[in-house]
Structure 1
Amino acid sequence: MDASTGPGVALTMNLSADGLYAAQINGKDLVVYNDLTSTNRDAQVCRLKENGVKFIKFNPRCVSVQGTHDGQTRFLLTANDSRITAWQLNPLQVLGEIENLEPGTLGVDFGKSGQEILVFHAWNTKLTIHSLETGQSSVIKSPKSASHLGFGYRPVTGHLAILLKHDMSDLLTIHEPRSHELLGRVTLSTVDAQGLKWSPDGNWIAVWDAASAGTRVLILTADGQIYRTYHGSPDDDDLFDLGVRHIEWAPSEGAEEASRFLAVGKVNGSIDLLGTRTFSLSTTLSHIFAADTQTCLFWRERFTSAMGDGDYTETSSSSAANMSPESPSSARGVSIMTFSSDGGHLATVDSTRSNVVWIWAINQTPQLTSVLVHEQPVRQLLWHPATPQLLINTVTTSLPSIRWWSPNTRPVIARVPTHKSESGKYDVKWLAESEPDSAFWFGSTEEYVVGYLSAEDGSSVKFEVITSVTSQGYGKHEGCVTSS
């Protein structure tokens, strides 16, 4: 759903980060849907100059713009192989265009402010940053990757950190907001840096190396100075160190507080939790079915009817292990790590058993609290933006359904009344600031529905539909507004 890889893959629909807007291309029309949970919902339509749009993306936040009804608006990008168009919403109109794109553009994205467009050129020769405010452009040569892991913006201040490749060495540079003036530059001791992530408080940058280099995570200060390099636990055997797959910071506990942990997901399937005071090992989480189940509940997905209805039944550790065949995927290691918004829980998936969700409580001493075993591989894990509710989206080859977990509550499965996808692949996204506050999207390329889960009789749940969007528009077409 998040088209962050640039022109190249056709999309039917894209959602804003908060789920409150949706956009799709219908022939030569750009259609944007607003107020998705409101009875006054509407759609705006604008005619495109040409066919062949392959990319749609919303900027992640509202931007102050004069001339809109409340002084705030969203921007939207569309792109084909030769042109990028920036759109202003409310009302929907063209804000600016970038024409004559070089062939083979690798990526297009918004910058931190929402009024900058990042264009990664073919072969990663350069990154051009176009300002929608001033019309000026800045160039950064030799970005290492067009992936969102190759660069990042410091929280609050918006300083840009980016990985570069120069003379076979990895470099990290820090740039001023808006002007992109170079503030700092450091040569990294990495073999092949895989990505970087700012800490939520903006005080640290973590860079991890290729798995072939073994465990190597560099911690740098906000101005790009090396503070520490983590090489794994002193007890680890270097001969069996398979390296790092990816990392994740725990959320900050307050507006000015630091994250408690940096999670390092390893190729061997374990997770090292580093305390952020010294960036030394606090504990290691292991994806192994232990016999001790005193603090952990094991749940197994089961289907209760030929129509695809299902629920979770409590099971034992040994039984759960037997129901979890190894994945045929050649990928190894921790494939998903995601913290709840309050930082109290961590949900993970190990690619060796890609159908199993592990949920860890980490408020005090980290411990495994729930294991959920499914029939099919897990596609997405999404925590609610404000409360510890987890949506579990698996590759569902039967009828479309969603799984839900929350602490101290029995997990549930609910069918979703939408078109069945032959691939079994659906996408989900929570809505922010919605009523009810637990509403979310669920859908595929054929149709998206917005709804929430409600209890039917105390033991089962139902997905209540608020609205739906198909290639023909809303399920109900009230209030459609067309602008040319």
Structure 2
Amino acid sequence: MDASIGGGAPLSLLISDDGVFAAHIAAKDLIVYSDTTSDHKEVQTARLKENNVKSLKFCPTRPSNNNQSKRHVLSANDSRISVWQLEPLQLVAEIENVEPNALNIEFGGDENEVLVFHAWNTKLAIHSIEDGRSSVIKTPKSAHPLGFGFRPQTREFAILLKPETSDILTIHQPTSYELLNRTVLPTIDAQGLKWSPDGKWIAVWDVASSGTKVLIFTADGQLFRTYDGPSGVDDAFDLGVKHIEWGPAAGSNSVSEFLAVGKVNGNIDLLRTRTFSSSTTLSHAFPSDQIAPTVWRERSTSPLGDAEYAETTSSSALNMSPELAGPPRGVAIMAFSPDGTILATVDTMRSNAVWIWALDGSPRLATILVHEQPVRQLLWHPSTPQLLINAITNALPTVRWWSPQSHPVISRVPTQKNESGKYELKWLSVPNEDSAFWFGSSDEYVVGYLSADEQSVQFEVLNSVTNQGYGSHTSSLNR
């Protein structure tokens, strides 16, 4: 997660991917918040050399980096990148004379590497803040995170290149970035790559206009399989791939069992990774030939905008109004539960509906949750089957929660109203706070959990962070 702006305006609040830290820039101060759920919450401040910071990013949490003292955050402007240790907050490295108009700046394989994608995608520079060395990879196809990725655990680096007319996939050694393999791709315009969470496979998908084409590579860059759609389907009706999503590395063998291929026509081809052939096609059309699943529909309970889920007839799902304006048709969101047994999806034709599929045994539609406004996020809890649903909310800040064992609920969140109705959610990955999460917008985030009694469900606030800060203890560093 990152915060980026231009023109020297205040950067919005930024939450680390595990929810442990929050940060923002105020004038020439970097302000970092930690211990956000405890009474010993802390605010640290460091002085920046410039006041035109345009990017602020936390280093992602990785299994090999669970020592909080090693966590880093970077700040960047058009000429300088500063890397800060979080606990205690202190400057550990600077990268100077950065070319202006960089397309993307972020951490690399660990907290000691910084990636800089130069303007016009001329090159990718990888800087080591441990030894000061730099590596260069020329002509990256895209600075977007879908254009490159690190192998889980061992950190080999895969990237799509576009030196001339052909797409190229290269695999590089961790740390040294020496070339391991180079493959010219049989694609028209590769749209992205994704490592499987178990680190065994790389999937690359082609532009939708070429029809269904997903290339499966081994971890060392050898082409293993090309998936071009389910057998027996007329290619004339193949509208191609929108995006893909790997199932988690779950089970006793920690293997990614599924690859979900989201199509432009709204279908999802569910591939078993044993063969990478289509085992099932999931359709965002009400399955008239199956037993109707439970359908929950959001309904207003007060003039102020409070709402709840009410069970409704299956026919109401058929009457959901599709979006009249928005992105082209296709599967917008696919999210696997942490154990890989449930898949939650959203289709752009009915972006207000969340379809939840049970994958244990024969895949089937388990339930549909219908909302008044389009869905922005689906977030599974990192370890338990709890799903947060974030829909645009013009009336009141509210959060929606679903679990296979419980009645779905909608709860108001006591935070500042955002006039756009657009909020962000993030689970908090902290021991003893298993069901706590962040909710907020650019001006204020609150962290808390849902508490239920016989009458209602309440959001219990543990803490809040605003651009004005919080906390009783502040340590200050001058640079």
TM (norm. structure 2) is 0.96
CA contact (8 A) 2:3 2:11 kept: no
CA contact (8 A) 1:327 1:353 kept: no
1:359-378 equivalences in 2 (<5 Å): 359-378=356-375
- The one-character-per-residue Cα deviations of 1:195-218 (angstroms, maximum 9, x if unpaired) are 111112211110000001110000
Separation in structure 2 between the aligned mates of residue 114 and residue 100 of structure 1, nearest angstrom: 21
2:456 paired residue among 440, 455, 460: 460
Secondary structure of the residue that 1:445 maps to in structure 2?
Answer: coil
CA contact (8 A) 1:36 1:467 kept: yes
Counterpart residue number, 1:312: 309
Secondary structure of the residue that 2:351 maps to in structure 1?
Answer: strand
Separation in structure 2 between the aligned mates of residue 12 and residue 439 of structure 1, nearest angstrom: 22
Shift of 1:260: 1.1
AA in 1 matched with 2:408: P
Separation in structure 1 between the aligned mates of residue 412 and residue 367 of structure 2, nearest angstrom: 22
Higher RCO, 1 or 2 (CA under 8 Å, sep at least 6)? Answer: 2
The yes-or-no answer on 1:479 pairing with 2:473 is: yes
Structure 2: stretches of 5+ with no match in the other structure: none
1:439-458 equivalences in 2 (<5 Å): 439-456=436-453, 458=454
Separation in structure 2 between the aligned mates of residue 369 and residue 304 of structure 1, nearest angstrom: 26
Q: 1:27 to 1:149 in 2, by over 3 A?
A: same
CA contact (8 A) 1:300 1:372 kept: yes
The 10-residue stretch of structure 1 (433-442 or 186-195) with the greater mean CA deviation from structure 2:
433-442
Shift of 1:379: 0.6
Counterpart residue number, 1:331: 328
Q: 1:144 to 1:162 in 2, by over 3 A?
A: same
Separation in structure 1 between the aligned mates of residue 3 and residue 413 of structure 2, nearest angstrom: 27
CA contact (8 A) 1:158 1:177 kept: yes
Secondary structure of the residue that 2:318 maps to in structure 1?
Answer: helix
Shift of 1:319: 1.2
1:38-57 equivalences in 2 (<5 Å): 38-57=38-57
Shift of 1:330: 3.4
AA in 2 matched with 1:481: S
Separation in structure 1 between the aligned mates of residue 316 and residue 256 of structure 2, nearest angstrom: 36
Structure 1: stretches of 5+ with no match in the other structure: none
CA contact (8 A) 2:334 2:344 kept: yes
1:29-108 equivalences in 2 (<5 Å): 29-61=29-61, 72-108=69-105
Shift of 1:38: 1.3
AA in 2 matched with 1:148: P
Counterpart residue number, 2:2: 3
CA contact (8 A) 1:272 1:284 kept: yes
CA contact (8 A) 2:249 2:256 kept: yes
CA contact (8 A) 2:69 2:86 kept: no
Separation in structure 2 between the aligned mates of residue 398 and residue 5 of structure 1, nearest angstrom: 27
Separation in structure 1 between the aligned mates of residue 204 and residue 355 of structure 2, nearest angstrom: 25
Shift of 1:325: 3.0
The CA RMSD measured in Å over matched residues stands at 1.9
Secondary structure of the residue that 1:473 maps to in structure 2?
Answer: coil
2:197 paired residue among 200, 218, 221: 200
Q: 1:19 to 1:184 in 2, by over 3 A?
A: same
Separation in structure 2 between the aligned mates of residue 7 and residue 344 of structure 1, nearest angstrom: 42
CA contact (8 A) 1:355 1:375 kept: yes
Q: 1:11 to 1:360 in 2, by over 3 A?
A: farther
Separation in structure 1 between the aligned mates of residue 177 and residue 291 of structure 2, nearest angstrom: 54
Separation in structure 1 between the aligned mates of residue 62 and residue 200 of structure 2, nearest angstrom: 25
Separation in structure 1 between the aligned mates of residue 97 and residue 41 of structure 2, nearest angstrom: 36
AA in 2 matched with 1:3: D
CA contact (8 A) 1:251 1:341 kept: yes
Q: 1:207 to 1:71 in 2, by over 3 A?
A: closer
Counterpart residue number, 2:106: 109
Identity over aligned pairs, percent? 61
TM (norm. structure 1) is 0.95
- The one-character-per-residue Cα deviations of 1:137-186 (angstroms, maximum 9, x if unpaired) are 00000000001000111111110010000220000001000000001001
